Structure 1
């Protein structure tokens, strides 16, 4: 066979293959053409999704994370005040755990250190006054930078007994789009919501809105005592279609408003992989929509599911802007933790718009930086502005933050350059004794609009890390691991064995086993780096 004949044969085969492929596509479209409210574009998308599911070798990672730039050191004499919003989310930790356990590379933008630290509970005392939380501080050595110090600030939310909690009006907003058609998405989502349902009481109400292509009410507001009816509605949910996220959010808030309980716990629980691609889909538009909805007095909980196309950036935006919290559910164990054992803290808010402002004394602090909370920082003037949104604290919740400090007598390679100023003069700090810093907090009651301020002084009396509390050691080890995962340029010691050892010293009672699991996670990560 000559070259010309061979070329003709090859072209004929290619044309035949293409024709068969087109016939298959249009045949598939004809098979589902009778389905209501489904566009041809949507059908082609679904066929592509089916091909993608049947050919895992062409699988690509299309997860999205907002870019983070770690907080720099600040010179105390130039900027003695630092302000931020609390963060009770813990999605980052369980998401990172999934990546490491799956043997994947950890996206450094998926690492939000404050969410890693706050995944764990700490042994802080209950508040002894009328405020909804207690304030706890501890000052000791930094294990990753010689001669640096760490200041740990911890809040402990008041434990409110379940029988004293207000009635709940909960609307589940469930993503049933084609992208949710995987075992670790819609099936796991259904099992997760059953866990939450088991925590509800007869006086609580449940509604269900689903969205895919278009949004609709699956279950009107129903007493939680009618569990069979609610479970039946869950079981009928199936994945298919594109994702009308904005329309679903509008409808869920509308349903929650119609069943609003004055003085109650009114909340939308959004469960999705975050892959909004129809309607109000951009992060900016979703942010505007959710900021508008939070004015209704309805809180938001976001539950993230899945991998491969998970949209963390959108999920976090919704939670941050909607008076809400955010968790990533990677398995049923995590669902039992967040929606079962820690249900009250994650669903019942006892203080909203909680802000922290700390002023460092330049007599003792040459420079400082906040570890994590990069997207929770506030302008200093925002602290007293009650119009500025901040984080929510739930019943029994703990919140922990760490500041790394360069003392005045330490020369560090991480000190920012100090420019000479002609007109500025430092206020004398000699009259404040051994005060290292003053920490102030502002919060509002869940249904209030005016904030209350409380404060506490931190003394300049630190001990070596060997004599620090177990909680200090463990929280520090978690932050340290996060800094390594983020490839921080502001730490010298990146020894994983040292991190694991410190975590072991802080393991303490570990009744739930979460701290032991963290130590195993470090071991798994070490194994991937050999």
Structure 2
């Protein structure tokens, strides 16, 4: 009897497993571009997965199951599984879903039919521009703007789907995300170039060359794709002795590019460059529950003090700002100029194609009173779309759809033209802003960091603000884009997926585009009777001289509608012994005196800011007493992110804490997590932790 039962269970298991099938494929949009992070779920179960960077997925399901494929801004598609093992899915954009963002922002409005032609770059505007690259310069086309590589074998069919060739350089196949780097090769470095048509290419190199192949032999014959990403060097903040340096002064930072960029490295299984890790930007990526301001100032000030989770000998201080949040219909009319890089280096799927989809999310939030212009640049710069009302959404989207990549990168010329157009259409008491979208790889005309910094510093006097959005990998120039945003009274974001685009242009629309306070500076004065030493975690590139705090000519960060800013300090209290505190001689001429009057005060925070159109700073003061509290969930989570950042940076101050410590801390501070961003962070840390365990096994 027992043998019969065992045989029955074994047979049932066999039959069950035989009814399962492994499904794989690619999820893409209607143009054939992969959708990383798309969700694939077996309906009615918890069995699901997400697509990788190239849109690939693998999932084992039951025969006859129904798979649903979904992605933000696209219509969900359902497919019943029979015996097919490979299922490629093309998702269609869902304009009704995108329009819901508009309904949330402005109130219900009917969607009007939109007609009208798209302005284009004239061939005469760029005629005679020299080109030394594989890709051609900007070139006007009859049916819109087409910017494509000279000799490119890209083809369009099936609703303008782009077929990208395979590049073979010195015998080595190049991953398609690096096509832009190859297309930017100088002709003088190329010995020969040969094109193979679809069938011939596929016979030689397989299905990856089914859209043709370009074989390049370089002069030296040893070309290697090298990722030329640039990051400003960061020297970690050290502990400061309060007796000698009681003041800590810095500019706020609402940029969040570092977190999505770090995420991109981790998701691609690559080591994160140390200088790509800006801890303050990682902390500020997440939403925290700070109260809205209740006084005349445009932000509230919040402070907490608790035991440091990774060091029993120190305390952790959290200082948080909450910008006043305005409903979108309360915001002033916008004069937006999209400045889009369409050079050869932007040809990768995670660059211009992603950029166009991302900007459509923004376009769908525009109102009738808003105006959009589009300027593009490659070997030269041109106006693609003259100022157009936000009511004409399809007209704006058509202009975006017609953009293609090719040519060198005259970023300086593009910036000049964009500011000229923005100034020409300046809205008094409105939101005047240039939105630059690029990988930052400028190589024609003004191109180095100093020249670009000087140009933007000059242009910001016009009253036009600048937002900078980074795209792509391999040649991403983070340092240049951060400099442009800082000097242009704006913010810097990095878009690696459509989910990130939805976060920037959907959930954080007001903060991304509307400034409520500029030149915001913080100065913290620690009480030597209570604090022996301190260090600011992050903000290394935002430090200011103490005297800069009251100098209204010194530039600082901008705060947008609804923006939150968090800064963490690790402190050593008076009377506590710590290996991080170095002893100093007593001062001969300066005597530090702290009377009973301030005996309960731990520190004082002073804030200075200007109104968006103002030139004189307003000051706000907040005092924190020495009471230590139990960590709130938000505080725990921000501390977990800070610790993770320190580990990525190989910090001297993480006190040998492990990635497991980060995970435990983040789980405790996860809270409600409506949008799943904190859960995603935990998954990222877990993936690195698992890799370390595997590597050390």
Counterpart residue number, 2:493: 327
Cα distance in 2 for partners of 1:395, 1:40 equals 43
Cα distance in 1 for partners of 2:614, 2:448 equals 31
Cα distance in 1 for partners of 2:173, 2:353 equals 18
Counterpart residue number, 2:670: 507
Alignment of 1:401-412 (within 5 A): 401-412=567-578
Preserved CA contact (<8 Å) 2:529 2:599: no
Q: Does 1:263 align with 2:382?
A: no
Cα distance in 2 for partners of 1:40, 1:149 equals 58
Cα distance in 1 for partners of 2:582, 2:312 equals 17
Alignment of 1:49-88 (within 5 A): 55-56=174-175, 58-88=224-254
Moved over 6 A (4+): 44-49
Counterpart residue number, 1:518: 681
1:419 deviates by 2.9
Secondary structure of the residue that 1:42 maps to in structure 2?
coil
Cα distance in 2 for partners of 1:214, 1:224 equals 27
Cα distance in 1 for partners of 2:634, 2:237 equals 23
Secondary structure of the residue that 2:132 maps to in structure 1?
helix
Counterpart residue number, 1:246: 412
Counterpart residue number, 1:37: 128
| Aligned partner of 1:112 among 243, 264, 278 | 278
Cα distance in 2 for partners of 1:475, 1:429 equals 34
Counterpart residue number, 1:11: none
Counterpart residue number, 1:14: none
Cα distance in 2 for partners of 1:310, 1:47 equals 24
Cα distance in 1 for partners of 2:586, 2:436 equals 52
Secondary structure of the residue that 2:133 maps to in structure 1?
helix
Q: Does 1:137 align with 2:303?
A: yes
| Aligned partner of 1:369 among 532, 535, 548 | 535
Preserved CA contact (<8 Å) 2:131 2:407: no
Q: Does 1:439 align with 2:602?
A: no
Q: Does 1:357 align with 2:527?
A: no
Q: Does 1:529 align with 2:692?
A: yes
Moved more, 301-310 or 37-46: 37-46
Alignment of 1:136-285 (within 5 A): 136-285=302-451
Instruction: Give the TM-score normalised by structure 1.
Output: 0.90
Cα distance in 1 for partners of 2:131, 2:278 equals 40
Q: Does 1:473 align with 2:639?
A: no
Cα distance in 2 for partners of 1:51, 1:244 equals 27
1:446 deviates by 0.8
Aligned residues: CA RMSD: 1.7
Cα distance in 2 for partners of 1:244, 1:528 equals 41
Counterpart residue number, 1:3: none
1:171 deviates by 0.1
Cα deviation digits, residues 218-251 of structure 1 (max 9, x gap): 1111111111211111111110000000000000
Secondary structure of the residue that 1:115 maps to in structure 2?
helix
Cα deviation digits, residues 428-481 of structure 1 (max 9, x gap): 343213000010101111111111101010000003xxx310011001100110
Cα deviation digits, residues 244-283 of structure 1 (max 9, x gap): 0000000000000011000000000000001011111000
Preserved CA contact (<8 Å) 2:418 2:434: yes
| Aligned partner of 1:389 among 525, 542, 555 | 555
1:104 deviates by 0.2
Cα distance in 1 for partners of 2:269, 2:429 equals 47
Preserved CA contact (<8 Å) 1:103 1:528: no
1:44 deviates by 7.7
Cα distance in 2 for partners of 1:73, 1:336 equals 39
Counterpart residue number, 1:8: none
Give the 3 Å change call, closer, same or farther, for CA 48–112 of structure 1 in structure 2. farther
Give the 3 Å change call, closer, same or farther, for CA 231–142 of structure 1 in structure 2. same
Cα distance in 1 for partners of 2:520, 2:131 equals 48
1:42 deviates by 2.5
1:340 deviates by 1.1
1:384 deviates by 0.9
Moved more, 424-433 or 75-84: 424-433
Secondary structure of the residue that 1:256 maps to in structure 2?
helix
Preserved CA contact (<8 Å) 2:604 2:622: yes
Count residues with an aligned counterpart.
Answer: 493
Give the 3 Å change call, closer, same or farther, for CA 388–242 of structure 1 in structure 2. same
State the structure with more CA Rg. 2
Cα deviation digits, residues 142-166 of structure 1 (max 9, x gap): 1222210111000011111111110
Q: Does 1:459 align with 2:625?
A: yes
Instruction: Give the TM-score normalised by structure 2.
Output: 0.69
Give the 3 Å change call, closer, same or farther, for CA 416–351 of structure 1 in structure 2. same
Preserved CA contact (<8 Å) 2:129 2:380: no
Secondary structure of the residue that 2:383 maps to in structure 1?
strand
Secondary structure of the residue that 1:94 maps to in structure 2?
helix
Preserved CA contact (<8 Å) 1:185 1:306: yes
Cα deviation digits, residues 189-221 of structure 1 (max 9, x gap): 000000111111110000000000000111111
Counterpart residue number, 2:510: 344
Cα distance in 2 for partners of 1:314, 1:378 equals 20
Q: Which has the higher contact order (CA 8 A, sep 6+)?
A: 1
Moved more, 95-104 or 37-46: 37-46
Secondary structure of the residue that 1:109 maps to in structure 2?
helix
Segments of 5+ residues of structure 1 without an aligned counterpart are 1-34
1:417 deviates by 3.8
Counterpart residue number, 1:31: none
Segments of 5+ residues of structure 2 without an aligned counterpart are 1-125, 137-148, 153-166, 179-223
1:325 deviates by 0.3
1:418 deviates by 1.4
